[in-house]
Amino acid sequence: MPLDNSSYSLALLRLDGRRWNELRRLSAQISTQAAADGSSYLEMGNTKIICTVDGPAEGRRGGAGGSEAQSGEAQVEVNINIAGFSGVERKKRTRGDKRTTEMQLVIKEAFASNLFTRLYPHSTIYISLHVLNQDGSLLAACLNATTLALIDAGIPMSDYIVACTAGSTSSYSANDENADPLLDLNGLEEQELPFLTVGTVGATEEVCVLAMETRVQIQRLEGMLAVGIDGCKQVKRILDGVVRAHGKEVLKKTL
């Protein structure tokens, strides 16, 4: 979907001044934690994530890990820690929190199918995500931060997994057939509007993650998905720039 360069009335801008198809400021760093095999720090708007990767290391014996080890593929384990001060409401999430558990499962399945796990039999890749601040697109930010940390750890994968959110300008109850899609929702927009999280493989349109926690009219879904895929392509270019810039710095230090 091409970028809309037309002039906009202030009435058509979103609360944070963006147009419907604009991403929030996205910045990231690689190798932020020296003790980890791979690490990254990512900001999508005011959502801030630290990700560390350890391994591949010798896998745990017995239980679910035992079946993975016998299959000759590496097991991926994901743990998300959400700081109590990360949101407006200061509450401590327990280890069995339903939304956190679901996000861990989505991230695990997405990367287990994208990483070359057969190269590391009888081993485990540990991914730890620390949420410092929440302002929308939490799952998308976690996926993007994990991609950078895995690249930093040198674990081979078929391509980047990049993610973004897309929403609709009208709620489910409004039943507005002329509702327009929105790209990269912030926290306030997620509270009021239906949205979905889209993850794609690289700059392609191959969808590997599609998660929706709200209700939406079926006729709006196609437009939301198209905007989300276009947003993923923009995120891919940004993350690729971060990786290339880090690679140049490493080369300068070695020369």
Q: What is the per-residue pLDDT across 156-210, written as a single tens digit (0 to 9) for each? A: 999 999 999 999 886 554 555 566 889 999 998 888 888 999 999 988 889 999 9
- Name which of 228, 32, 235, 234 is nearest 143 in CA terms: 235
Q: Where are the alpha helices (DSSP H) in the chain?
A: 63-70, 98-114, 138-153, 187-192, 218-254
Q: Choose among 177, 255, 188: nearest CA to 220.
A: 177
Mean per-residue pLDDT for 133-143? Answer: 94
| Higher per-residue confidence, 241 vs 72 | 241
How much is the pLDDT for 59? 62
Helix (H) or strand (E) holding 72: none
Query: Which is more confident, 60 or 2?
Result: 60
**Structure-model confidence comparison of residues 78 and 175, the more confident one:** 78
CB atoms within 10 A of CB 41: 20
Least confident interval from 62-76, 115-129, 144-158? 62-76
Paired tokens of 229 = 């895929």
User: What pLDDT does residue 62 have?
Assistant: 45
Residue 1 in any domain: the answer is no
Confirm whether 2 is domain-assigned: no
Nearest to 198 by CA among 244, 159, 158, 167: 167
Q: Is the pLDDT of residue 28 over 50?
A: yes
Which of 132, 125, 111, 130 has the alpha carbon at shortest distance from 153?
Answer: 125
What pLDDT does 86 receive?
75
Decide if 10 is inside a domain. Answer: no
Once rounded to an integer, what is the mean pLDDT over residues 88-105? 75
Classify residue 11: in a domain, yes or no: no
DSSP 18-65: --TTPPPPEEEEE---TTSSEEEEEEETTEEEEEEEEEEEEPPPSHHH
Mapping DSSP to helix (H, G, I), strand (E, B) and coil, where does residue 207 land? strand
Judge whether residue 26 has pLDDT over 50: yes
What is the span of the domain harbouring residue 245?
A: 16-61+68-254
What does the pLDDT read at residue 175?
58
Structure-block tokens of residue 113: 């199918």
Residue 188 located in a structural domain: yes
In a domain, 6, yes or no: no
Burial class (CB in 10 A: 0-12, 13-18, 19+), 154: exposed
Domain contains 4 = no
Alpha carbon distance 131, 82 (integer Å):
5
**How far apart are the C-alpha atoms of 226 and 2, rounded to whole Å?**
12
Angle at which helices 138-153 and 218-254 pack, to 10 degrees?
30
Q: Over the stretch 201-253, which tens digit does the pLDDT of each residue have?
A: 988 889 999 999 888 888 888 889 999 999 999 999 999 999 999 999 988 88
pLDDT at 202: 87
Please state the rounded mean pLDDT for residues 135-140. Answer: 92
Looking up residue 36, the CATH number of its domain turns out to be 3.30.230.70
- Indicate the average pLDDT of the chain: 85
Instruction: Find tokens 């949205």 and name the residue.
Output: 195
Mean pLDDT computed over 112-122: 91
Give the list of residues 6+ apart from residue 225 with CB closer than 8 angstroms, or none.
166, 196, 198, 207, 210
pLDDT at 228: 94
**Is 231 within a domain?**
yes
- Total domain count, the chain: 1
Split at pLDDT 50, 70, 90, the class of 134 is very high
Check whether 9 has a pLDDT greater than 70.
no
Which pair of structure tokens corresponds to residue 14? 């979103």
Report pLDDT for 185.
Answer: 92
60, two tokens: 């745990």
Predicted pLDDT at 85 = 81
User: Does 128 score more than 70 pLDDT?
Assistant: yes
Q: Is the confidence at residue 90, as pLDDT, over 80?
A: no
Decide if pLDDT at 10 tops 50.
Answer: no
